[in-house]
Structure 1
């Protein structure tokens, strides 16, 4: 039994390493430059891709000109093409389809996160996290969210791997944000979401105290259709 489990874990790890390498190559083909790091993990049929050091010359020009919205728009268009190709390969390796994705970028730290799932299972299952850590994180998230959007009706905290934690927040959208989504005003919603993320980034030290570790990356993605947001902490 132990040998079978070990072999299964090894195959899974090999698959994830292969997917990380594949994603890097696809980024290089589209961007003309690949990332320094492309780490893929899987949890509850979701793939999480953490990327480090991959800004292209075109994006550097936009960022230096303070054209962040254009930089985000440029990257999201290219990433959409990469993911369309990537999921076709990934479903063969993993044995199940992937459809929906969410992503966020930190141009200052030159990092990013992409979450890809099957578009059906929106909730993470329970993972082994101490009650003390859950309480501290939930307290800080409720404090920050109360100042920028609705306090989540529920908060679930998931340990994706040794360095990455995901926080799923349900029912956080204001009524005006729901109207904007129904009217397909995604540019406004995306800009709004980046402003909300800044509020969490500004409280980075409080979250570092909760984890007892330095936070290398803090990301936030939104599932507007299902009124959920996800906060990702990548720890050093």
Structure 2
């Protein structure tokens, strides 16, 4: 049974647990770890989580290798993480995603309990958010077929959109050209970052960090703002 409300004590434990698991598997844990649960998603915000070896790769423009290695490790340890979270919170997560701002040494791990694409209601102006997403997406990829209203649980705001992949991008994914998709995704993410003030106006909050998580398998993107 899923608990209706996560206690701060439970979330504090999850923060500590995640930090210890990461340190055991990466040789270095994050300086800080903060967990937020919104509906069927868990967002884990990390700070100062780059190992010395990764730092060398990043300085030599090999961020894709760092991201790929982290993906392999997270997929390996996901079963352990999801089991512990289920024991503590009673929530069963089935998918793990992540995004990193290497320049600022921050990152976000997102766990999902389902593949639901249902549109959810938020507390902000849906039209202003949709217009901003459409404007930016039109510059980098196909305008999404569906955009969700924003959801917020301080300090996280997230927006989902689906049906954005062009035929070329779908072919690249099916052929396994993950390095090219990663470079393209970083360009899209940079464009979202450059439009931070536009989104701050839409959600009426100051944004500290922006993360963009692409799920190419399901043609879905999750745009996450970590608020100041």
Corresponding residue for residue 148 of structure 2: 156
Matching of residues 86-101 of structure 1 within 5 Å: 86-101=81-96
Aligned-partner SS, 1:157: coil
The more displaced of 117-126 and 39-48 is: 117-126
Change (3 A) 1:92 1:203: same
Matching of residues 41-120 of structure 1 within 5 Å: 41-120=36-115
Change (3 A) 1:208 1:162: same
Matching of residues 160-175 of structure 1 within 5 Å: 160-175=152-167
CA contact (8 A) 2:41 2:112 kept: yes
Offset of residue 158 of structure 1: 3.0
Offset of residue 122 of structure 1: 4.0
**Deviation readout 1:114-137 (Å, 9 max, x if unpaired):** 11123443446323x133xx3322
**Deviation readout 1:150-187 (Å, 9 max, x if unpaired):** 11122113334122111101111111111222223333
Between the aligned partners of 1:100 and 1:28, the Cα distance in structure 2 is: 21
Change (3 A) 1:65 1:184: closer
Aligned-partner SS, 1:176: helix
Offset of residue 228 of structure 1: 1.1
Q: What is the TM-score with the length of structure 2 in the denominator?
A: 0.89
Between the aligned partners of 1:8 and 1:212, the Cα distance in structure 2 is: 28
CA contact (8 A) 1:105 1:219 kept: yes
Corresponding residue for residue 26 of structure 1: 21
Between the aligned partners of 2:98 and 2:212, the Cα distance in structure 1 is: 8
Change (3 A) 1:98 1:8: closer
Offset of residue 92 of structure 1: 1.9
Give the length in aligned residue pairs.
226
Between the aligned partners of 2:198 and 2:222, the Cα distance in structure 1 is: 18
**Deviation readout 1:173-214 (Å, 9 max, x if unpaired):** 111111222223333222221221111112223223333433
Residues 1:231 and 2:223 aligned together: yes
Aligned counterpart for 1:16 among listed residues 11, 15, 37: 11
Question: What 5-or-longer segments of structure 1 have no aligned partner?
Answer: 1-6
Change (3 A) 1:171 1:8: closer
CA contact (8 A) 1:62 1:68 kept: yes
**Deviation readout 1:206-225 (Å, 9 max, x if unpaired):** 22333343321111111222
Offset of residue 105 of structure 1: 0.6
Between the aligned partners of 1:18 and 1:176, the Cα distance in structure 2 is: 44
CA contact (8 A) 1:221 1:231 kept: yes
CA contact (8 A) 2:40 2:114 kept: no
Change (3 A) 1:142 1:100: same
Between the aligned partners of 2:162 and 2:111, the Cα distance in structure 1 is: 18
